[in-house]
């Protein structure tokens, strides 16, 4: 099903500017997060694993993949690396691999998660609380809209 709506040149330009601004903010935010998390010896992907496992342990590899929006196969390499780093442990229970944090992982979780939450919140302090709520609402509204990609001359 294709949504067909005639857009003015101004609407198209504004849409493109919004997309560029969101993309730039996201890329800069990931860059800053990676630089910040490097102080803990983590990448943003590794931090995501640490935060999800720490908050929901024990967790199956499939459950973790669903929380991270990746396939089970995509996280295998990262989990192996984090296991080698001593932060997680995987235990095979019949057909399910269960993931938990080690003692070192729990320590890192308790240090890094509150600091990363603070770091992320600081990026939005230029906005009032009301503006932050508005932004969240608007981003959710955009995300809920599903416009299928269709190759055609617009």
Structural domain includes residue 99:
yes
Residue 41 within a domain = yes
pLDDT of residue 65: 86
Would 11 be classed as within a structural domain?
no
Q: Does residue 72 belong to any structural domain of this protein?
A: yes
pLDDT in tens, 13-68: 999 999 999 999 999 998 999 999 999 999 988 999 999 999 999 998 888 988 88
Domain presence at residue 15: no
81-106: average pLDDT = 92
- For residue 144, the surrounding DSSP H or E stretch is helix 129-144
- Look at residue 108 and tell me whether its pLDDT is greater than 70: yes
Q: How many domains does the chain have?
A: 1
Structural domain that includes position 84: 28-144
Token pair in block for residue 37: 């998390």
Non-local (6+) Cβ contacts of 65 within 8 A are 71, 72, 74, 75
Residue 9 lies in a domain: no
| Helix residue ranges, H only, 1-153 | 9-37, 44-56, 61-68, 72-84, 103-122, 129-144
Q: CA–CA separation, 144 vs 138, rounded Å? A: 10
Q: CATH number of the domain that 61 lies in?
A: 1.10.10.10
Tokens found for residue 81: 């690396």
* Predicted pLDDT of residue 4: 64
pLDDT at 143 over 90: no
């Amino acid at each position: 099903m294709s949504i067909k709506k005639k857009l003015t040149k101004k609407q198209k330009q504004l849409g493109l500017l919004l997309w560029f601004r969101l993309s730039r903010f996201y890329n800069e935010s990931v860059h800053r997060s990676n630089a910040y998390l490097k102080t803990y010896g983590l990448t943003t992907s590794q931090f995501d694993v640490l935060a999800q496992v720490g908050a929901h342990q024990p967790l199956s590899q499939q459950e973790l993949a669903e929380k991270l929006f990746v396939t089970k196969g995509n996280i295998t390499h990262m989990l192996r690396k984090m296991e080698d780093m001593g932060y997680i442990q995987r235990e095979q229970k019949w057909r399910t691999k269960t993931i938990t944090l080690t003692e070192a992982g729990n320590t890192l979780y308790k240090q890094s998660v509150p600091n990363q939450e603070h770091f992320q919140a600081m990026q939005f302090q230029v906005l009032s609380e009301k503006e932050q709520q508005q932004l969240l609402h608007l981003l959710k509204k955009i995300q809920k809209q599903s416009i299928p990609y269709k190759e055609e001359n617009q």
